[in-house]
């Protein structure tokens, strides 16, 4: 047995505490499997005294993250502070000191990935980040290694557990968005401030990371179309069900015609056919479906967040890092990169659409609306006039629209919304089928 591999842990929040505990608990197992002993050498926290009172050993605690970088016995730095500037400084300083880095910081990777991987390359020191997307689901390893022989045609991911829990409860129990959110908060599945989860930006950070792996370049954050689930109503979910669909918040990544420098990345609520496996992904679970040109469709499913699942991914990254320290090798597949590309503008992306309108209950209304769509060369695949809870003389009208560009449909919505028979702002939700 070689000397133990020294680990520096930055952060003892929910994930950090999980890493600490699970690394202790399964240390013997890891030693057997890896032929290496993993030892937590130092733990950087904001308040060491408080952690001592919680039972953490005083000898490993420090209030300075710089101590992880400066301690020569720390060979792997695990960044689970989840901050911005400090996390970035720690990662860059660790790489300069030739310490392998493991991080779960999706927001940081999404915004500073290019810089981080440039530093990794310059210092010939690896960065692992399996825990940044999909919690315990090994999607990063799958894209980088298992699908190395595939051109990636598309990725569709349910990659925000909070949103998926809310949509599941709205669907199962016919709850409103605010009621389902309140339930998620009561159960600890949503933060007191749930914005980043329900507005789609947490999923967007993860989608940016997946896109970078699949296509080899980063997309600027401000080019991505992101729509959350706040405006989804129980009625939309019911109508979608009647039509054979479920509504899920998806991160969608697709190859563009300009494959070397452009990619389609978007995050929005999406109608998906109920027969597709993604439609069965309920509660806080995540799942990512990848379409490769050789493998066809592969889907990975599991808990996308939480102390233990996230720890599992970090343990596997630590194992990889420990192995890489002993046997340096070129990263398999999809190597770390520091290039930027562009995101296909949302206006030129194609999809099918669900439209829900509130219209006057009189003859001629459907003809008027379909006339507008016809003039714009937009095809209707079905029309549903469901029992609805609209009051008075108004009724709901649901239309499923054939493939059209996003700017085409926006033009149609602009014209439809000013018709006198249309009583409220139309609701549009994108639809995805899976080839």
State the minimum distance, in angstroms, from the CB of residue 221 to its own copies. 25
User: From CA 96, how far away is CA 194, in angstroms rounded?
Assistant: 36
Buried b (16+ CB within 10 A) or exposed e, 139-154: bbbbbbebbeebebbb
State the minimum distance, in angstroms, from the CB of residue 100 to its own copies. 14
DSSP, res 403: E
Cβ contact 162:184 at 8 Å: yes
Residues 6+ apart with CB under 8 A from 276: 434
Cβ contact 150:292 at 8 Å: yes
**Any idea how long the chain is?**
435
Cβ contact 343:50 at 8 Å: no
Nearer to its own copies, 292 or 426 (CB): 292
DSSP conformation letters of 314-360: HHHHHHHHHHHHHS--PPSSS-----B-EEPPGGG-EEEEEEEEEEE
State the minimum distance, in angstroms, from the CB of residue 149 to its own copies. 3
User: From CA 78, how far away is CA 132, in angstroms rounded?
Assistant: 12
Nearer to its own copies, 242 or 295 (CB): 295
Nearer to its own copies, 312 or 358 (CB): 312
Cβ contact 63:44 at 8 Å: yes
User: From CA 435, how far away is CA 433, in angstroms rounded?
Assistant: 6
Nearer to its own copies, 145 or 375 (CB): 145
State the minimum distance, in angstroms, from the CB of residue 326 to its own copies. 7
- Alpha helical stretches, state H, 97-233: 106-122, 139-141, 161-173, 177-186, 195-198, 201-215
Which residues of the chain form contacts with its own copies (CB under 8 A)? 22-23, 26, 29-30, 33-35, 130, 136-138, 141-142, 145-151, 275, 277, 279-282, 292-303, 306, 308-309, 311-313, 315-316, 318-320, 323, 326-330, 332-335
Nearest to 320 by CA among 110, 3, 5: 5
Cβ contact 304:134 at 8 Å: yes
CA atoms within 13 A on the CB side of 270: 24
User: From CA 167, how far away is CA 324, in angstroms rounded?
Assistant: 41
Q: Which of 42, 106, 141, 206 is catalytic?
A: 206
Look up 206 and say whether it is catalytic.
yes
State the minimum distance, in angstroms, from the CB of residue 277 to its own copies. 5
User: From CA 75, how far away is CA 77, in angstroms rounded?
Assistant: 7
Bridge partners for 292 per DSSP: 152, 296
Tally helices (H) and strands (E) across the chain: 15, 17
Residues 6+ apart with CB under 8 A from 103: 78, 79, 80, 87, 91, 109, 127, 128, 129, 131, 132
Put the strands of the sheet holding 127-128 in their side by side order: 61-62, 38-44, 5-10, 76-79, 100-103, 127-128
Nearer to its own copies, 168 or 270 (CB): 168
Write out the catalytic residue numbers.
206
């Amino acid at each position: 047995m070689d000397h133990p591999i020294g680990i520096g842990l930055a952060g003892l929040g929910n994930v950090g505490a999980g890493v600490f505990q699970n690394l202790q608990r399964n240390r013997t197992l890891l030693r057997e499997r890896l032929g290496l002993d993993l030892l937590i050498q130092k733990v950087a926290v904001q308040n060491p005294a408080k952690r001592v009172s919680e039972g953490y050993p005083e000898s490993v605690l420090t209030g300075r993250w710089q101590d992880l970088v400066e301690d020569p016995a720390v060979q792997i730095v695990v960044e689970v502070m989840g901050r911005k500037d400090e996390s970035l400084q720690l990662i860059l300083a660790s790489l300069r000191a030739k310490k392998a880095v493991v991080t779960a910081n999706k927001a940081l990777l999404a915004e500073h990935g290019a810089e981080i991987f440039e530093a990794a390359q310059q210092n010939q020191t690896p960065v692992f980040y399996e825990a940044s997307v999909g919690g315990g689901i090994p999607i990063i390893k799958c894209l980088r290694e298992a699908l190395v022989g595939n051109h990636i045609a598309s990725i569709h991911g349910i990659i925000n557990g909070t949103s998926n829990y809310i949509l599941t409860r709205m669907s199962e129990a016919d709850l409103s968005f605010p009621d389902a959110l309140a339930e998620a908060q009561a159960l600890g599945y949503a933060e007191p401030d749930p914005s980043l989860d329900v507005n789609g930006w947490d999923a967007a950070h993860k989608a940016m990371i997946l896109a970078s792996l699949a296509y080899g370049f980063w997309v600027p954050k401000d080019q991505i179309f992101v729509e959350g689930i706040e405006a989804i109503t129980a009625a939309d979910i019911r109508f979608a069900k009647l039509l054979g669909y479920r509504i899920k918040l998806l991160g969608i990544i697709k190859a563009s015609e300009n494959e070397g420098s452009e990619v389609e990345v978007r995050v929005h609520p999406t109608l998906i056919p109920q027969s597709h496996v993604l439609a069965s992904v309920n509660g806080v679970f995540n799942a990512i479906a990848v379409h490769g040109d050789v493998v066809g469709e592969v889907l990975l499913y599991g808990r996308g967040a939480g102390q233990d699942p996230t720890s599992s991914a970090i343990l596997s990254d630590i194992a990889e890092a420990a192995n890489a320290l002993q046997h340096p090798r070129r990263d398999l597949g999809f190597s770390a990169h520091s290039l930027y590309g562009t995101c296909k503008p949302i206006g030129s992306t194609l999809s099918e659409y669900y439209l829900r309108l509130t219209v006057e209950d009189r003859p001629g209304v459907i003809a008027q609306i379909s006339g507008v769509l016809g003039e714009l060369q937009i095809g209707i695949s079905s029309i549903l006039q469901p029992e609805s809870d609209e009051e008075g003389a108004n009724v709901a009208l649901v239309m499923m629209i054939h493939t059209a560009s996003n700017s085409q449909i926006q033009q149609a919505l602009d014209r439809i919304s000013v018709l006198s028979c249309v009583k409220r702002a139309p609701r549009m939700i994108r639809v995805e089928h899976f080839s």
